């Protein structure tokens, strides 16, 4: 497993390049038992061919499944007021800061206002969704990893003047970047399952477009469970794996399955989407794309070893973990 957290969290953005770039550090966590969650992102966005128009962005979302509400805010900050370290996690977007110990800041959007002051710690090394050698090359265009899996956050998040105590909520500190987002994809993360609170699942199903042609769905999956890591994430394995996303009215279901000679992993993530949950984001140089958020997702995962000494595990993550 990779252990150099500074290396994997270092910023890749070159302000002198005109290639186009987005890069985000996003932190998220869930209440341990209630359907409450938050997501905060620090981003640099540079349009292709326009390095002089680079900006920093702050995104914040509060999910309240008890009230059936989602509050979100986005604030754009001039690049002159931003700093992203090239050798470690050390970010400043306006007055908001993020490092390997905590995050502090505020964001005001069109309808909601946020403020946060949080510390966190993670007992685990970074988790790579891709094979390590693919992070330095040009393919794929989008890179993603988890800098601090199973991070425990403590502090306060204030939404529209209402303070929420965050006391040991578990989630992650994650990092992604690239020249453009993946053309079509589903991404999922589960920090802890019932009966397996230290397990962690990171997964994605994606399709890439080359001219008029689309690739078949490719599924990447990394599961940590019982002190072991099952990285089913090579490009060949991604093509062989199964990933099926179905949206039927308000219902969302995503089934994944990947296996080798040594192990087989199956997962299911499902949710009921809230009405009007879509938003627009312009964080890729190629333009804007819709993004939607599912309400109260849940997940299940099964992992089975193969061979004469067959072992297995099965676990379910309720809405408070996904």
Instruction: Name which of 75-84, 103-112, 195-204 the model is least confident about.
Output: 195-204
Residue matched to tokens 């490009």: 235
Nearest to 219 by CA among 236, 206, 234, 210: 206
Whether the predicted pLDDT of 304 surpasses 90: no
Q: State the average pLDDT for the chain.
A: 87
Helix (H) or strand (E) holding 295: strand 295-305
Average pLDDT score over residue span 1-17: 87
Helix (H) or strand (E) holding 8: helix 5-9
Summarised one tens digit per residue, pLDDT across range 87-117 is 999 999 999 999 999 999 999 999 999 999 9
**pLDDT for residue 290:** 34
The residues pairing with 46 across neighbouring beta strands, listed in sequence order, are: 21
Q: How confident is the model at residue 134 (pLDDT cuts 50, 70, 90)?
A: very high
Please write down the HEC assignment for all residues of the chain.
CCCCHHHHHCCCCCCCCCCCEEEEEEEEEECCCCCEEEEEEEEEEECCCCHHHCEEEEEEEEEECCCCEEEEEEEEEEHHHEEECCCCCEEEECCEEEECCEEEEEEECCCCEEEEEEEEECCCCCEECCCHHHHCCCCCCEEEEEEEEEEEEEEEEEECCEEEEEEEEEEEEEEEEECCCCCEEEEEEEEEECCEEEEEEEEEEEECEECCEECCCEEEEEEEECCEEEEECCHHHHHHCEEEEEEECCEEEEEEEEECCCEEEEEEEEEECCCCCEEEEEEECCEEEEEECCEEEEEEEEEEECCCCCCEEEEEECCCCC
Average pLDDT score over residue span 28-57: 96
Whether the predicted pLDDT of 311 surpasses 80: no
**pLDDT for residue 288:** 32
Whether the predicted pLDDT of 275 surpasses 60: no
**pLDDT for residue 209:** 87
**pLDDT for residue 14:** 94
Average pLDDT score over residue span 61-75: 95
Greatest distance between any 2 Cα atoms in the chain = 61
Burial code (b: 16+ CB inside 10 Å, e: under 16) for 28-40 equals bbbbeeebbbbbb
Whether the predicted pLDDT of 279 surpasses 50: no
Instruction: Name which of 94-103, 135-144, 278-287 the model is least confident about.
Output: 278-287
Instruction: Name which of 100-104, 119-123, 310-314 the model is least confident about.
Output: 310-314
Residue matched to tokens 């891709």: 130
- Round to whole Å and give the CA distance between 322 and 320: 6
If one compares 308 and 159, the residue with the highest pLDDT of the two is: 159
Whether the predicted pLDDT of 59 surpasses 70: yes
Q: How confident is the model at residue 307 (pLDDT cuts 50, 70, 90)?
A: very low
Report the percent of the chain where pLDDT is more than 90: 70
Q: How confident is the model at residue 3 (pLDDT cuts 50, 70, 90)?
A: low
Report the percent of the chain where pLDDT is more than 70: 86
Summarised one tens digit per residue, pLDDT across range 24-33 is 999 999 999 9
């Amino acid at each position: 497993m990779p252990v150099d957290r500074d290396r994997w969290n270092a910023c890749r953005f070159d302000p002198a390049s005109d290639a186009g770039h987005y890069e985000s550090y996003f932190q998220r966590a869930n209440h341990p038992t209630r359907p409450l969650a938050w997501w905060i992102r620090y981003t640099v966005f540079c349009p292709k061919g326009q390095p002089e128009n680079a900006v920093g962005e702050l995104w914040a979302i509060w999910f309240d499944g008890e009230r059936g509400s989602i509050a979100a805010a986005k604030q754009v900050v001039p690049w002159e007021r931003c700093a992203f370290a090239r050798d470690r996690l050390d970010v400043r977007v306006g007055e908001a800061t993020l490092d390997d110990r905590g995050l502090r800041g505020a964001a005001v959007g069109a309808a909601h206002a946020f403020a946060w002051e949080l510390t966190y710690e993670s007992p685990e090394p970074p988790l790579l969704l891709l094979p390590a050698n693919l992070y330095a090359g040009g393919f794929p265009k989008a890179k993603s990893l988890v800098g601090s899996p199973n991070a425990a956050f403590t502090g306060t998040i204030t939404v529209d003047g209402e303070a929420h105590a965050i006391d040991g909520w578990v989630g992650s500190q994650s990092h992604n970047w690239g020249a453009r987002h993946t053309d079509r994809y589903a991404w999922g993360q589960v920090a802890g399952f019932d009966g397996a609170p230290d397990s962690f699942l990171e997964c994605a199903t994606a399709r890439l477009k080359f001219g008029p042609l689309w690739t078949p769905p490719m599924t990447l999956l990394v599961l940590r469970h019982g002190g072991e890591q099952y990285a089913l994430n090579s490009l060949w394995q991604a093509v062989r794996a199964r990933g099926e996303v179905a949206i039927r009215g308000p219902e969302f279901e995503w089934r994944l399955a990947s296996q080798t000679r040594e192990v087989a992993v199956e997962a299911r993530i499902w949710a009921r989407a809230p009405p009007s949950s879509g938003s627009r984001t312009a964080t890729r140089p190629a333009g804007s794309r819709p993004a939607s958020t599912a309400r109260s997702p849940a997940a299940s995962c099964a992992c089975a070893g193969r061979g004469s000494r067959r072992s297995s595990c099965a676990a379910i993550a309720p809405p408070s973990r996904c």
